[in-house]
Amino acid sequence: DGGITQSPKYLFRKEGQNVTLSCEQNLNHDAMYWYRQDPGQGLRLIYYSQIVNDFQKGDIAEGYSVSREKKESFPLTVTSAQKNPTAFYLCASSNMGRDRNTEAFFGQGTRLTVV
């Protein structure tokens, strides 16, 4: 089935450790996005990528890093520099282009807890 897959669904991390969240899509979408959601809050953009080997910072990029080595994959690393990493992380993908449908689709999310 076509879609966007995030793993793991739940993740626990000790303070001071880096952790990587996986996001894979088989929709042949050009653009991919990472958002953070805190309890009772909206979605805030961390990083986004419009093309392989290129990505841009969103509104809250500090303490996070990404890579886009393949069109299908956009992993997010939460580094030890992120002061408050406990949150729900959502990945999305969409087409690009002014003559195309650019509807975005989301994965099921990863809940990260620092213990």
Partner 1 sequence: GIQVEQSPPDLILQEGANSTLRCNFSDSVNNLQWFHQNPWGQLINLFYIPSGTKQNGRLSATTVATERYSLLYISSSQTTDSGVYFCAVEAWNRDDKIIFGKGTRLHILP
- Count how many Cα atoms sit within 13 Å of the Cα of residue 13 in the half-sphere of its side chain: 24
Question: Stretches 17-25, 34-42, 62-70, 74-82: which one binds partner 1 (CB under 8 A)?
Answer: 34-42
Question: Which token pair is 70?
Answer: 């393949």
Residues 6+ apart with CB under 8 A from 41: none
Each residue 73-112 as x (binds partner 1 by CB under 8 A) or -, in order, gives ---------------x-x-x-x-x-x--xxxxxx-xx-x-
* DSSP state for residue 30 in the 8-state scheme: S
Residue ranges binding partner 1 (CB under 8 A): 31, 33, 35, 37, 41-45, 48, 50, 56, 58, 88, 90, 92, 94, 96, 98, 101-106, 108-109, 111
